[in-house]
């Protein structure tokens, strides 16, 4: 029973089923107006090495069910829906982890959480130490690798190279020519920061006080991104922009223009905030934060069109993990992770399967969909293939460029996907074809069999069928042991 469920006061139709996209998706976006979009063009050989601009927009804690094109009924996301109608939807795409720091580490390095250095927000303590990327040649990022091929690189928003760092130069040293944003994830809980960092220098924001203030960080990051696009378009040099938004992570906070349309629309039941900003209207504020993300996507795609570089720019939108239950909000309030089980900090689908869209007019077919099973650690391999350089053997990821171009027959598949999570007793998960194995309390019981689910028949992971398929259970246990490489901070079996 979802005891925190919040219902819209207006009666709404039943939510779409678990594999919504296809015809249902196109029906949902059919009424949106958009400029004419060309279908896919160019062969794999023509696109490989073409060095397009690359933008990766990452929302923070946005759930699979938070897009209206995917069934959200309490609010709409017209610009993300339009992006999906003009681009390609990845129905089986997974975040790097179920919390932010290791998820972003997988996105930037090309390795899953069995091998990345930063596998948690904190080093298992006490003391509860935060962790950051090591100096090159360790933890080499996709930004560094793209720099070496002639790209200009930028990260704007929440730093992905450290959960916390006291080194203001770290993002630049890890491959980003330009950085503006938060060095620490805990500081990024606040949407009215007193200071930010731009290329090693402190930017003071004296009218802000953390929880409250005059300058919303999401507005700053959007403005910085638009300026960056103006500069790079004028230069003619290919660029990689990683726009790492904070929304909709708690604090629950958003400018009134986004929140006010929802206040009074829901029967609210505010929950304890646990140190976050007070949240008198958690469902309304959360909806407004999703709208601010939607607005940011609109402005970025609009800018690309204004500059005339949209047909030479691949834009990917995703989220770093599923939606949450903190700061006064519970993901059941808007069914944010529907149709899946669980949320942030779970390795069930609701914690790690994320809504992912690729947009590249003239190259990616409008209204496309791929069911290719992919994950964050595939992004660096894809970017390098576009840049025209070999994918390093040490990557766990494989390029999804063939799927992006609609060439499913040429798309290599993963043998399996793997996650490990070092909070809450230790957890592991493997996706192997349509099979999904999830293990809990690994630190105390490293030999326990996993729960087993058939995602084709049971995407909500309600029926553990491990007892009926012991051979699959043994295979998944083998994958779990194979994928985990211990390091000095993170071990499971040793």
Which tens digits make up the pLDDT trace of 360-394? Answer: 999 999 999 999 999 999 999 999 999 999 999 99
Cross-strand partners of 123: 129
Structural element, H or E, at residue 54: strand 53-59
pLDDT in tens, 287-307: 999 999 999 999 999 999 999
The Cα–Cα gap between 463 and 125 comes to 35
* DSSP states along 251-320: S----HHHHGGGTTSB---PPP-TTS---SSHHHHHHHHHHHHHHHHHHHHHHHHHHT-GGGEEEEEEES
198: exposed, middle or buried (Cβ count in 10 Å: 0-12, 13-18, 19+): middle
pLDDT in tens, 238-290: 999 999 999 999 999 999 999 999 999 998 877 889 889 999 999 999 999 99
User: Is pLDDT above 70 for 39?
Assistant: no
- Band (pLDDT 50/70/90 cuts) for residue 447 is confident
Strand, helix or coil at 95?
coil
How much is the pLDDT for 124?
76
- Band (pLDDT 50/70/90 cuts) for residue 213 is very high
The Cα–Cα gap between 184 and 224 comes to 19
Strand, helix or coil at 387?
helix
Cβ atoms of 383 and 54 within 8 Å: the answer is yes
How much is the pLDDT for 129?
79
Cross-strand partners of 58: 244, 318
Q: Which residues contact 305 (CB under 8 A, 6 or more apart)?
A: 35
User: Is pLDDT above 90 for 494?
Assistant: no
How many helices (H) and strands (E) are present in the chain, helices listed first?
13, 20
Distance of CA 8 to the CA centre of its chain: 27
pLDDT in tens, 67-102: 999 999 999 999 999 999 999 999 999 999 999 999
> What value does the mean pLDDT take over residues 321-333?
96
Task: Set out the domains of the chain in order of their start, with CATH numbers.
Answer: 36-414 (3.40.720.10), 419-483 (3.30.1120.10)
* Best CA proximity match to 153, nearest among 145, 163, 161, 162: 145
- Band (pLDDT 50/70/90 cuts) for residue 25 is very low
Distance of CA 265 to the CA centre of its chain: 28
User: Is pLDDT above 50 for 314?
Assistant: yes
- The CA-based diameter of the chain, rounded to the nearest angstrom, is 62
């Amino acid at each position: 029973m979802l005891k925190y469920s919040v219902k819209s006061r207006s009666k709404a139709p039943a939510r779409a089923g678990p594999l919504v996209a296809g015809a249902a998706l196109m029906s949902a976006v059919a009424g949106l107006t958009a400029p004419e979009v060309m279908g896919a063009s160019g062969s794999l050989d023509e696109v490989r090495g073409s060095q397009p601009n690359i933008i990766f927009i990452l929302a923070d804690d946005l759930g699979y069910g938070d897009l209206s094109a995917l069934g959200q009924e309490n609010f709409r996301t017209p610009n993300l829906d339009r992006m999906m109608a003009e681009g390609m939807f990845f129905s089986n795409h997974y975040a790097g982890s179920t919390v932010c720091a290791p998820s972003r580490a997988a996105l930037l390095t090309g390795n899953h959480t069995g091998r990345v250095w930063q596998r948690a927000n904190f080093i298992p303590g006490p003391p509860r130490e935060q962790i950051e990327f090591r100096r090159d040649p360790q933890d080499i990022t996709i930004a560094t690798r793209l720099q070496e091929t002639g790209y200009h690189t930028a990260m704007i928003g929440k730093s992905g190279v450290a959960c916390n760092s006291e080194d203001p130069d770290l993002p630049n040293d890890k491959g980003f020519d330009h950085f503006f944003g938060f060095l620490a994830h805990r500081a990024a809980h606040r949407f009215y920061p007193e200071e930010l960092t731009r290329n090693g220098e402190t930017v003071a924001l004296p009218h802000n006080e953390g929880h409250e203030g005059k300058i919303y960080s999401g507005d700053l990051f959007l403005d910085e991104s638009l300026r960056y696009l103006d500069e790079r378009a004028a230069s003619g040099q290919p660029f990689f922009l990683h726009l790492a938004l904070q929304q909709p992570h708690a604090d629950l906070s958003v400018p009134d223009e986004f929140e006010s349309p929802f206040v009074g629309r829901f029967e609210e039941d505010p929950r304890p905030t646990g140190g976050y900003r007070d949240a008198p209207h958690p469902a309304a504020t959360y909806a407004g934060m999703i709208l601010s993300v939607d607005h940011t996507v609109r402005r970025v795609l609009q800018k690309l069109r204004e500059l005339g570089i949209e047909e030479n720019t691949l834009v990917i939108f995703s989220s770093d993990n599923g939606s949450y239950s903190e700061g006064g909000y519970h993901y059941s309030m808007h069914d944010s992770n529907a149709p899946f089980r669980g949320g942030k900090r779970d390795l069930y689908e609701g914690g790690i399967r994320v809504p992912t869209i690729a947009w590249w007019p003239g190259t990616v077919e409008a209204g496309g969909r791929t069911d290719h099973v992919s994950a964050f650690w595939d992004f660096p391999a894809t970017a390098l293939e576009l840049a025209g350089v070999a994918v390093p053997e040490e990557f766990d990821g494989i390029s999804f460029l063939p799927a992006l171009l609609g060439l499913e027959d040429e798309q290599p598949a993963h043998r399996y996907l793997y996650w490990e999570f070092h909070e809450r007793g230790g957890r592991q998960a493997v996706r192997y074809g349509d099979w999904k194995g999830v293990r809990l309390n690994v630190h105390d019981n490293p030999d326990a069999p996993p729960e087993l689910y058939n995602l084709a028949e049971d995407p909500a992971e309600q029926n553990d069928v491990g007892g009926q398929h012991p051979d699959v259970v043994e295979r998944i246990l083998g994958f779990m042991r194979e994928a985990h490489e211990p390091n000095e901070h993170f071990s499971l079996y040793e």
